[in-house]
Amino acid sequence: MIRTQRPAAGVCALLAALAAGIAFPGQAVADETTQAAPKVELVLDVSGSMRTADIDGGTRMAAAKQAFNEVLDATPEGVQLGIRTLGADYRGNDRKEGCKDTAQLYPVGTLDRTEAKTAVATLSPTGWTPIGPALLKAADDLQGGDGTRRIVLISDGEDTCQPLDPCEVAREIAAKGVGLTIDTLGLVPDAKTRDQLSCIADATGGTYTSVQHKEELTDRVGQLVDRAADPVVTPVATEGTGQCSSAPALKSGLYTDREEFGQQRWYKVDVRPGQELRASVSVAADRAVNSDYGVLLRAVTVHGREIVRGEASGLGRTDVISTGLRYPKAESDDDEDTTPETVCLQVTNSFSAAAGVKTSPGLPVELTVDVVDGPSQASDVASFGLGRGWWLLGALVLTGFLAGLLWGWVSRWRVAVWRTN
């Protein structure tokens, strides 16, 4: 039996090797181009209110330290990371001095995890909340280089250093065109803190997240640090309309908009014969919303006929809900017909505001549009992604099958001859 299994194993190995070579005949060599090192600075509020013990039975400061330690362990290689504090040093009551209290705890650069953790361990809730000054300094910390730049601000209260409005500071940073995104996280925030942190994030195309638990804080900070290592995609602000006829015409790209509670927004995209439209939408719940919500993305003709839809729904707390769709436009019988079809995209949400929550501005919307050549355009691609080599693989499989049958027949014949002798 052992002797009869060896040739079959050899045939299987040969087929596997040939299949591996054929399955990816056009596979490109990995791109060796190096991406500029992304930079991230974590800006942590160390004001006196961080002593409050209302996050899973511990203080807000303890939750932040735990999150930082876990995020530092998981920071991707190549990300240049720094840490800045606000309200960590000045213990007095002089407002002018308190509003200068921001310092770089760990410089932006190659991460030494042990050194960074040691620095975080020394922090103790102390003073004021100079968010505006800290953001200005953080923007300076991230200067230089062509990589992604991101500030992640973690705070549990409003800025106490007005009239330097942190929202205006964020707008000033955005107006300079420095390509810097500010994401904000509110630890057990009240309405005023939530509004301020949302405003800061919105000014630079960032995100705001309300945090109630340690795990949420760790997960979200980790996601934002990882996102910094992703290829740079700059979203384009657009404004959908109430009907398709007046909707903005979009090309492939990433777009941002705002949508009121329960509202629908329309956009339109031209799709030529043989192309495929891929679209996805995310609607963020950047404030307290009622349970039972959903988002609907529809592709519709200019005459109102639905082509395809994507939808998602949920219950309970959420930060964002997303869905998507694909629409392949069939090739025309006339090879010279390249007349595009206008496809209307409708985005609808069924969020509702919780009692006492402001409904304006609308919820943040992120819309991704991608128009690519459809499968029929790629003449060298066949079933299972094997390209033109699929028939050869099929022939090899058939040959292996027949060889197996022949070997089995020969083996049985040899055994029969041996027994008769």
**56 and 203 share a domain?**
yes
**219 and 319 share a domain?**
no
Contact 153, 170 (CB under 8 A): no
**313 and 192 share a domain?**
no
Alpha-carbon distances, residue 264 vs 241, 242, 260, 362, 395 (angstroms): 8, 7, 8, 11, 54
Is 399 domain-assigned?
Answer: no
pLDDT at site 375: 52
> Domain boundary at 377, 392, 416, which?
377
**188 and 270 share a domain?**
no
**152 and 255 share a domain?**
no
> Residue 99 is part of a domain; what is its CATH number?
3.40.50.410
> Domain boundary at 210, 228, 246, which?
228
Q: What is the pLDDT along the chain (421 residues), one digit of tens a residue?
A: 333 333 334 434 433 333 334 333 333 333 434 568 899 999 999 999 999 999 999 999 999 999 999 999 999 988 999 999 999 998 888 888 899 999 999 999 999 999 999 999 999 998 899 999 999 999 999 998 878 899 999 999 888 887 788 988 998 888 776 678 899 999 988 888 988 998 898 888 788 888 889 988 998 898 888 887 776 567 889 999 999 999 999 999 889 999 999 899 999 999 999 889 989 888 888 788 888 889 999 999 999 999 999 998 887 666 778 888 889 988 877 767 788 999 999 999 999 988 888 888 889 998 989 888 765 443 333 333 344 444 555 666 677 667 767 766 766 666 566 666 6
Question: Radius of gyration (Cα) for the chain, nearest Å?
Answer: 29
Range of the domain at 103: 39-228
> Residue 291 is part of a domain; what is its CATH number?
2.60.120.380
**240 and 224 share a domain?**
no
**Structural domain count of the chain:** 2
Is 419 domain-assigned?
Answer: no
Q: Which residues are paired to 82 by β-bridges?
A: 41
**159 and 243 share a domain?**
no
> Domain boundary at 174, 202, 228, which?
228
- For the whole model, what pTM was predicted? 0.54
Is 284 domain-assigned?
Answer: yes
